[in-house]
Chain A
């Protein structure tokens, strides 16, 4: 380090402390103003029962005890974990592959990106009925295609063992955001590095392995962390399409929380389930950050 650099660094360090907070203020102030109260309320609700009508009543640990005896909670946790641990890796792989392919400067790439992105922004009311129509046992497009290929038609959303795989299949149509995030991340890889690597005689694979991949690790890390968090909160598809069926095969945790809260009016118990979900997600996230320290490359030291 040059001495000039050190000096600049020192001068800057004085302001840095203050600027750090100032720049973070939108979040910090917003969190204090808008998040603290609802969050604290929902924590308190774990120990209360509240039907939205009468004032909340203290029930001690009853909600937590009930949690461990409730078969619906177990079922929904299993469904959610199944969906997450099969779905998230698949999403990442497909999204990354697509992003790499569509990072090319070829004709029509814009149209491709749009084609892959659009399904994820189709309003859920519309996409629910589309998928129902695609997966319908007798009149569905997918079974029509199967029949042409000589595969026997499947009962997709009517067969509990097939419903979750069908959901994971459907969720591939909503990887658009992940693909876009990867695409944005790929732009951060300076072209000069590729050129340098190329001049050094690196093969395409080597360039990917030693240039693209390391510099993309923050983005990959982001997509894993956020992907798991989001996947644990999967809700809309089953809410719109199956209502949790058949035979509770698509009863995911947030859907069960939703029913317990808004249908059964047990907001205390719903909060208890939600906070268990929170702890599970938090556990996985902490693990991600712990493992991430070994493989995520950051330009700045954190």
Chain B
């Protein structure tokens, strides 16, 4: 199968590193970049419309929420919507609860999914294929039908209204998506990387921790973002598990602006905007790893 792949012999292209070639390459890059902006910029604007609507609405009075034609800049910019949004519900409590859940879950998920993914991709052991099949299978049943049995189970062991059912299952068995993702990534890494270490007698732990993980920057960042976001926005499961308002998360808080026959959209949008801020920051930070990956990842020796 590997024969389908052309790059079997990477002739180290150190010759291409002369200053002259750098200039040439930069020039070569200019033209496609212009094209990139030309095509991508309008598309990015179109993609940003919903978000712009969120931000615009968050600054409007309620009467202008659905105004037509759409009014991007409100007649009276109401920053007070933000104040109202965080004072109408105990936002600080919800935020710290959410932070706790997100940080712990993300840490655990990143660790566990990279371990399991490594095992499924790089280690040979009996039962591996079965475990991998189970990983994929756990993604297929819609949680709608397991949510109540799961609730009963956690009720029986006294975990209801604690964070354990929100953190532990999702960072182990519930991490199937991330395990699969990690496994796919590991399978693509060059085999030779491990060989040398093995000959040196390195343990699997050492190989995983010191050789494999450093190469996984982009995918670890991806898993971290996805996990964090999942827990950040998850609604149904925390709703079922948590009862005390003291334990609620931001996603539950956001739904509290929905009254029975009407919704306070300006507040929902203000609260959504606030909720998006840390995510935007997180995404910008994580991106460093995507870009850096190009320089450091893989065989691109230094």
Q: Do chains A and B touch in the complex (CB under 8 A)?
A: yes
Contact of B185 among A34, A138, A188, A261 (CB under 8 A): A188
A144 and B118 alpha carbons, distance in the complex (Å): 51
Residues of B within 8 A of A277 (CB): 142
Which chain A residues (91-146) contact chain B, with CB distance < 8 Å? 98, 101-102, 104-119, 121-127, 129-131, 133-134, 138-139, 141, 144
Question: Number of residue pairs across A and B with beta carbons under 8 Å?
Answer: 374
Residues of A within 8 A of B205 (CB): 19
In the complex, the answer to whether A119 meets B40 with C-beta atoms within 8 Å is: no
Contact of A192 among B47, B198, B258, B299 (CB under 8 A): B299
Smallest CB separation, A93 vs chain B (Å): 14
Chain A interface residue count: which class?
35 or more
Whether A34 touches B172, Cβ cut-off 8 Å, given contacts A123-B254, A185-B185, A225-B136, is yes
Which chain B residues (174-208) contact chain A, with CB distance < 8 Å? 174-177, 179-181, 184-191, 195, 198-201, 203-205, 208
Residues of A within 8 A of B6 (CB): 197, 210-211, 214
Whether A112 touches B7, Cβ cut-off 8 Å, given contacts A118-B276, A184-B218, is no
* B260 close to chain A: CB less than 8 A: no
Which chain B residues (133-186) contact chain A, with CB distance < 8 Å? 134-142, 144-150, 152-153, 168-169, 171-177, 179-181, 184-186
A106 and B44 alpha carbons, distance in the complex (Å): 15
The residue on B at minimum CB distance from A209 is B6
Residues of A within 8 A of B200 (CB): 8
Whether A12 touches B198, Cβ cut-off 8 Å, given contacts A190-B10, A199-B13, A299-B191, is yes
Q: Decide if the interface of chain A is mainly helix, strand, loop or mixed.
A: helix
In the complex, the answer to whether B139 meets A229 with C-beta atoms within 8 Å is: yes
* A66 close to chain B: CB less than 8 A: no
A210 and B7 alpha carbons, distance in the complex (Å): 8
Residues of A within 8 A of B180 (CB): 222, 225-226
Instruction: List 14 A-B residue pairs with CB atoms under 8 Å apart, sorted by A's residue number.
Output: A19-B119, A22-B204, A23-B204, A29-B172, A34-B173, A123-B251, A134-B53, A144-B70, A180-B226, A192-B12, A192-B300, A214-B6, A222-B180, A297-B1
| Apart from A123-B251, A215-B188: 20 A-B pairs, beta carbons within 8 A | A23-B119, A24-B119, A26-B172, A27-B131, A35-B173, A38-B153, A42-B146, A98-B40, A133-B66, A187-B290, A187-B294, A188-B185, A188-B188, A188-B218, A196-B10, A219-B184, A254-B144, A277-B142, A297-B188, A300-B122
